[in-house]
Amino acid sequence: MINDALLVASNDNKPTCKGLFYRCSIHNFIDKSGALVSSTKLRPLKRMSCKGCEKCAGILDTLAEDLSCELPSKLAHGDVVELGVVIDSEDCESGLSDGWHVRAQLVENL
Ligand SMILES: [Zn+2]
């Protein structure tokens, strides 16, 4: 009985997912060959982000498999984005999603 009560209490105190946040840094430079290079880097904001849950693990697994991420059309140096998964297709018989990709959405109010 006591163990059951503790289990319920610990589930109630389970922290909710805060999401995965990244800060954009854009650098333009000329490389050794003289080419103009524009690099966009998304650095993880660890203190602001979820410490780890099933949902975030799924997002990171999808990113690791695909290595592509849909970025906002206007992304500036210093912007903060939140990663999420977008469902592209569902199996018409089972109703389960069978295609998805990662999207970075701009966080307007910090
Ligand atoms: Zn999470």
Q: How far is ligand 1, taken at its centre, from the CA of residue 81, in Å?
A: 15
Distance separating alpha carbons of residues 46 and 50, to the nearest angstrom: 8
Q: How confident is the model at residue 72 (pLDDT cuts 50, 70, 90)?
A: very high
| Whole-number CA gyration radius for the chain | 19
Is residue 6 one of the residues assigned to a domain? Answer: no
pLDDT at 12: 55
- Residue 5's CB is within 10 A of a number of other CB atoms, namely 9
Determine the average pLDDT of the residues in 41-69: 92
* CA geometry: angle 109, 43, 39, nearest 5 deg: 105
Is residue 11 one of the residues assigned to a domain? Answer: no
Question: Residues with beta carbon < 5 A to ion ligand 1?
Answer: 17, 50, 53, 55-56
Identify the H or E element spanning 9: helix 2-12
Is residue 98 one of the residues assigned to a domain? Answer: yes
Is residue 1 one of the residues assigned to a domain? Answer: no
Overall number of domains in the chain: 1
Are the C-beta atoms of residues 68 and 100 closer than 8 Å to each other? no
**Residue 24: is its pLDDT beyond 60?**
yes
Segments forming the whole domain that contains residue 38: 20-106
Rounded to two decimals, the pTM is: 0.76
Is residue 9 one of the residues assigned to a domain? Answer: no
